[in-house]
Amino acid sequence: MVFASLFFIYAFFALNLIFYMIVRTEDIYFRNGVMLVFSLIFYAFVGPKYILLLVGETLISYICALGISKTENGGRKLFLALDIVLLLGLLGYFKYAGFLVTNFNLLPFPDLKVPQVASVVGISFYTFQLISYTVDVFRKEVKPQKNFLRLLLYTSMFHQCIAGPIVRYSTVQKELRSRTADSTDLYEGILRFSTGLAKKAILANGVASVAKSLLPEGVAAMQTTPPANIALGIFCFTLQIYLDFSAYSDMAIGMGRMLGFHYPENFNYPYTAVSVTDFWRRWHISLSSFFRDYVYIPLGGNRKGLVITILNLFVVWFLTGMWHGASWNFILWGLYYFVILVIEKCIRSAIKKSASKKNSVVLETAEGTVVLSGESSDSHSSEKDSAPLPLRCLGHVYTMILVIIGWGIFYFEDLSLLKAASKSMLLSGKWNLIHNAHDLIANLYNDHMLITLKSNLILLIVAILACFPIWTGFRKLIEKAGKKNSAFTALGGIIDITVMILCMLLATIALAGNTYNPFLYFRF
């Protein structure tokens, strides 16, 4: 079962809301019970036999967290290590066993039997949540949860169990004990869910279909595919993966808001970034912050010199690639970003050193490093804390080119397909047939690409616009105007309700008539 399905929207989630609202706000145990039952039923649709794995991992963390709280020194570390080893061991077996054995068999040793292990949906998400919980208990940032069912609810909450965001226990610990959802929560939750649903059902599925039609699956077919076809296909996948992934986060945040849970934002319009560093501050924020707080900083972060910093970044980005799937292309994708981010880090470091020698002021902004000439920061307190517009535009173009190339690596799980696509993009084997500009143009694209582009042009334009904060910016303007004139508040409410209805109606029509509804997170 997935969020973007008519059964989930009009049967499962509708029943969940009805049963949940029947129970009084004061009866938190019964409300938690309703949520736990529905969450386990939801996961049973995904894979009933793996409910035991979900419950088992939660039990491991439950016991280890209690052990951490009741022991001292070495005992605390032993329970923490036990929890991490067991959880990562289970994750490694169910997600990477086949991949590791297959690659081991390439070595000159006796072949091992490749284990046939079915993928467990969401295992990476809830494993990381449980690890963050026990580590936070170890750091004494949260107290251990003594009610096992409450911890199981935190692990299995169907809103975010299989597609994120990665919610830390500290974020929802109070709401697990007591929560309310007022009319504003319900209003904002429905609006967030409906817009997320439309983003997935209409835009993400639409551009996914275009990408699939342009990117053949066979190596032989890929070798004969013109470069422009591949480029447009990867561009459509670039749109798809953001619209799809952020849509699921929108729906999760919206459903949680309706019930009194406040999940963290997972995306901040990453395709508006002006550097790759900025991109990763905006993309899958819960995963990036997890690796920062539980891997990068514990390893020493940037406190132990440049060499150790680079080594720590290598570990983080190798693990980031591995997290996304048991395939070499994901590892290459992670290391690709490692190289780019190290280069950007070195450039920023050089700018800082140069600025300090010139007695300039260096501002670290969300967009990157900005240097202001002068004697002291006080003399430039009125300067705008952002890079000049031409520099931002150049940075945005540079970032998007690298990001699109990265999604090309991410898309082709079969390295032979990635190799074939790369050769086709470079017109490998065709240069001897090209004698003039006409021949060159003729080999860059074909009629299929032109027809596909023309027939999906409006879809692509709307999908591109959806990657920018147009809707949120418009709502903020209406809200600001409403503080001066109540008529704008009423107008904003009318627009919101109209958008809700249209999004739900159009998404329902799209889901009813569309048989292509891919679920990108199965490997996660």
If asked whether residues 16 and 95 sit together in one domain, one would say yes
Q: How confident is the model over 390-445, as pLDDT tens digits?
A: 888 899 999 999 999 999 999 999 999 999 999 988 887 777 777 778 777 877 88
Residue 40 lies in a domain: yes
Lowest-pLDDT choice from 359-363, 384-388, 477-481:
359-363
Higher pLDDT, residue 68 or 520: 68
If asked whether residues 32 and 151 sit together in one domain, one would say yes
Which of 117, 151, 180 marks a domain boundary?
180
If asked whether residues 50 and 107 sit together in one domain, one would say yes
The 3-state DSSP class for residue 39 equals helix
Residue 246 lies in a domain: yes
The model's confidence at residue 132, banded by pLDDT at 50, 70 and 90, is: very high
Residue 385 confidence (pLDDT): 47
Residue 25 confidence (pLDDT): 76
If asked whether residues 99 and 242 sit together in one domain, one would say no
- Give the angle 390-396-399 at the CA atoms, nearest 5°: 140
* Mean pLDDT of the region 151-158: 94
Residue 380 confidence (pLDDT): 36
Which of 145, 180, 215 marks a domain boundary?
180
If asked whether residues 111 and 172 sit together in one domain, one would say yes
Beta bridge partners of 363: 370
Helices (H), 215-267: 219-223, 227-258
**The whole model's pTM is what?**
0.89
**Domains identified in the chain, total number:** 2
String of b and e for 354-392 (b: at least 16 CB within 10 Å)?
ebeeeebbbbeeebbbbbeeeeeeeebeeeeeebeeeeb
Residue 524 confidence (pLDDT): 59
If asked whether residues 157 and 76 sit together in one domain, one would say yes
Higher pLDDT, residue 117 or 482: 482
Residue 187 confidence (pLDDT): 93
If asked whether residues 30 and 139 sit together in one domain, one would say yes
Residue 208 lies in a domain: yes
DSSP states of 230-243: HHHHHHHHHHHHHH
If asked whether residues 411 and 481 sit together in one domain, one would say yes
Residue 28 lies in a domain: yes
Residue 365 lies in a domain: no
Residue 363 has pLDDT above 50, yes or no: no
If asked whether residues 82 and 161 sit together in one domain, one would say yes
Quote the domain boundaries for residue 491. 195-274+387-513
Which of 152, 180, 208 marks a domain boundary?
180
Residue 286 lies in a domain: no
Residue 366 lies in a domain: no
If asked whether residues 55 and 115 sit together in one domain, one would say yes
Residue 37 confidence (pLDDT): 95
Per the prediction, the chain carries an average pLDDT of 87
Q: What is the Cα–Cα distance from 477 to 496, expressed in whole angstroms? A: 13
If asked whether residues 91 and 176 sit together in one domain, one would say yes
Residue 384 has pLDDT above 50, yes or no: no
Residue 195 confidence (pLDDT): 96
If asked whether residues 497 and 398 sit together in one domain, one would say yes
